[in-house]
Amino acid sequence: MFPCNCPSCQSLLKVKSLKCENCGTEVLGLYELPLLARLSPAHQDFILKFMKNSGSLKDMSKELGLSYPTVRNLLDEIIDKINSYEKEF
């Protein structure tokens, strides 16, 4: 999983360096992590599938093999997480 929190003090990490593998250029700075990147891999995967299914929870439930309310509850959980991350900013 993409590290989001400091292993030492658990503070939110920021991106300091981005590198181009093609020409070796390195971009230095202090960039905020995108909000979506802070989500767990499972949640990120859910969001991708949600987009690919055009936001249809019914289709999502069929694809995941879960019941409709379970899929809806997962979505609500992600929404709550995103809202809490936004409040931190």
Q: Which residues contact 17 (CB under 8 A, 6 or more apart)?
A: 26, 27, 28, 29
Return residues touching another protein (CB under 8 A): 65-70, 72-73, 76
Q: How far is the CB of 72 from another protein (least distance, A)?
A: 6
Which residue's CB is nearer to another protein, number 48 or number 79? Answer: 79
Q: How far is CA 49 from CA 25, 26, 36, 56, 61, in A?
A: 34, 33, 14, 10, 11
Q: How far is the CB of 65 from another protein (least distance, A)?
A: 7
Q: How far is the CB of 82 from another protein (least distance, A)?
A: 14
